[in-house]
């Protein structure tokens, strides 16, 4: 029987890079923000993991849609949408932020780019922030324009990223600080280039602001990287889990709050700042959150894909669940991200994992990122 396929229509948008990744042998897609995201190429996930740690890759991450706030009330609305304190944010800074609803539940975890005092991009993960922002602005009567601009991020990831990027944008790209961005020239067009990306291996994200320009940017980078072991790539699940990078919709949803997700340091909890969900988060902080995201390393053969939460138990009592898991070639065991109850999230705690076949496999709770990631 043939494997099921994704029926693509205009509701699942292609990106400027789709023809390039298909010519290079993309093996599958996911859908994020109604946009296709490559999930693999000809290599196995394990082969891609080792390559990402040694070479350089181009990632089509056009699915990272931007929600643009621009106008006199842009800064006010941006702050209202996150418990992270944006009052001292600088132009040229990228800020990873939790977004919560009135109950403190996670709505998204975007990266905010501050382009000007009255101009912000929210580079979002997989939920409809555009509609949330427009509803807030309309309901509060704010003077702010909200839109999804014609911006298609392209990621350059891996330890050889600096060399490849310098060949195209000049040595000024090497001076961009972590989670900072600059506008750099590309063939007479100014592009936002940020030192960021969804891996721990270093790299950049290029915010290509014309669909028609995307193919040209890809081709110039591709032609310049022939001697750098350049390849197409995508977010790697092994590297993501070992590095403790959380994925919205997997590790966190509206059912989780940022304190449970290890994001307390990104929340202003002294009562001095107004934002949606403030009272809920202050109450959670006062009472103490009862769960926490941690890492797991556990035995058995290579585990299957985690398509639904796997129960974690201690002495046959469920104390949490696995959110993402895969075999690690570095640890030679399975690795996972998991939500665990208070009293069971300390590193070194012995637990049992059942991935759906009724067999308990022994595991150990770890810190995040995992050692050496």
Residue 331 within any structural domain of the chain: yes
* Distance from the first to the final alpha carbon of the chain: 39
293-to-95, 135, 261, 273 alpha-carbon distances in Å: 21, 31, 5, 26
How many domains are there within the chain?
2
Tell me: do 44 and 182 sit in the same domain.
Answer: yes
User: In this predicted structure, what is the pLDDT of residue 373?
Assistant: 63
The answer to whether the beta carbons of residues 323 and 338 sit under 8 Å apart is: yes
pLDDT along the chain (373 residues), means of 10: 68 95 95 96 94 97 98 98 98 98 98 98 97 98 98 98 98 98 98 98 98 98 96 98 97 97 97 97 97 97 96 98 98 98 98 95 97 72
Task: State how far the Cα of 259 lies from the Cα of 49, in Å rounded to an integer.
Answer: 30
> In this structure, what CATH number is given to the domain that contains residue 340?
2.40.30.110
> In this structure, what CATH number is given to the domain that contains residue 206?
3.30.1360.120
User: In this predicted structure, what is the pLDDT of residue 63?
Assistant: 98
Tell me: do 59 and 156 sit in the same domain.
Answer: yes
User: In this predicted structure, what is the pLDDT of residue 4?
Assistant: 66
**pTM score:** 0.95
Tell me: do 309 and 373 sit in the same domain.
Answer: yes
Q: Which residue has the tokens 């950049």?
A: 204
Task: State how far the Cα of 109 lies from the Cα of 127, in Å rounded to an integer.
Answer: 9
| The pair of three-digit structure tokens given for residue 138, joined into one six-digit string | 């309309």
User: In this predicted structure, what is the pLDDT of residue 206?
Assistant: 98
Tell me: do 168 and 56 sit in the same domain.
Answer: yes
Residue 75 within any structural domain of the chain: no
Q: Which domain holds residue 233?
A: 18-64+151-240
User: In this predicted structure, what is the pLDDT of residue 9?
Assistant: 79
Where a domain ends, among 240, 257, 274?
A: 240
Residue 2 within any structural domain of the chain: no
Tell me: do 230 and 325 sit in the same domain.
Answer: no
Residue 117 within any structural domain of the chain: no
């Amino acid at each position: 029987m043939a494997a099921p396929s994704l029926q693509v229509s205009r509701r699942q948008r292609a990106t400027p890079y789709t023809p390039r990744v298909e010519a290079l042998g993309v093996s599958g897609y996911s859908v994020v923000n109604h946009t296709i995201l490559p999930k693999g190429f000809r290599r196995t996930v394990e082969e891609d993991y080792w390559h990402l740690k040694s070479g350089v890759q181009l990632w089509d991450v056009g699915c990272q849609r931007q929600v643009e706030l621009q106008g006199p009330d842009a800064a006010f609305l941006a702050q209202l949408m996150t418990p992270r304190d944006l009052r001292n944010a600088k132009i040229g800074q990228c800020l990873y932020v939790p977004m919560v609803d009135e109950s403190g539940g996670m709505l998204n975890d975007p990266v905010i780019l501050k382009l000007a005092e009255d101009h912000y991009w929210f580079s979002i993960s997989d939920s409809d922030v555009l509609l949330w922002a427009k509803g807030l602005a309309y309901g509060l009567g704010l003077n702010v324009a909200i839109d999804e601009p014609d911006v298609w991020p392209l990621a350059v990831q891996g330890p050889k990223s600096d060399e490849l990027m310098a060949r195209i944008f000049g040595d000024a790209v090497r001076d961009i600080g972590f989670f900072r961005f600059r506008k750099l020239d590309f063939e007479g067009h100014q592009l936002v280039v940020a030192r960021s990306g969804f891996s721990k291996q270093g790299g950049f994200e290029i915010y290509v602001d014309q669909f028609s320009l995307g193919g040209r940017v890809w081709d110039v980078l591709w032609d310049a990287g022939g001697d750098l072991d350049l390849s197409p790539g995508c977010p790697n699940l092994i590297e993501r889990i070992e590095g403790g990078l959380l994925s919205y919709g997997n590790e966190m949803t509206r059912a989780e709050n940022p304190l449970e997700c290890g994001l307390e340091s990104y929340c202003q909890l002294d009562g001095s700042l107004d934002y949606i969900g403030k009272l809920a988060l202050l109450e959670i902080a006062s009472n103490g959150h009862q769960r926490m995201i941690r890492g797991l390393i556990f035995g058995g053969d290579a585990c299957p894909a985690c398509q639904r939460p796997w129960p974690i138990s201690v002495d046959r009592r469920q104390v949490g669940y696995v959110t993402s898991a895969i075999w690690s070639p570095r640890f030679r065991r399975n690795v996972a991200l998991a939500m665990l109850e208070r009293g069971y999230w300390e590193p070194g705690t012995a637990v049992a994992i059942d991935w759906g076949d009724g067999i308990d496999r022994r595991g150990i709770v770890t810190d995040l990122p995992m050692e050496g990631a």
